[in-house]
Amino acid sequence: MVIELTGDNLSQYISENKLIVYFKTDWCSVCKKAIKYLHEVKDINVIVVNAEKHIRSCKFYPTKFKHYPTIAYYENGYYIGDIDDYSEINEELIKLTS
């Protein structure tokens, strides 16, 4: 399921067993194209965070953002790693979880 935050409340979701967080901006053209791939993810919730509007939620990412979109994978509230190729998101998840 893909959930786009309307408030700055990633803290309500971050402790899920497995979670993908999609950090984006409104001005990013790649973000608009890449978001369709999030709906291909199976059995893991995806939370979409507008990085310019939800500053407190961005604090769950361990460093500064190098680019947008940034796709991060978490388990039980802990950052595991980034997903670099959004078009191969399920394959990237397999690498991170094995």
pTM score, whole prediction: 0.93
What is the count of structural domains for the chain? Answer: 1
Question: What beta strand segments (E) does 12-77 contain?
Answer: 18-24, 45-50, 70-75
The CATH number for 31's domain is 3.40.30.10
Residue 77 DSSP label: T
Domain carrying residue 54? 2-97
Residue-wise pLDDT for 49-94, tens only, equals 999 999 999 999 999 999 999 999 999 999 999 998 888 888 888 8
Q: pLDDT digit string (tens) for 7-55?
A: 999 999 999 999 999 999 999 999 999 988 999 898 899 999 999 999 9
Alpha-carbon distance 42 to 38, whole Å?
9
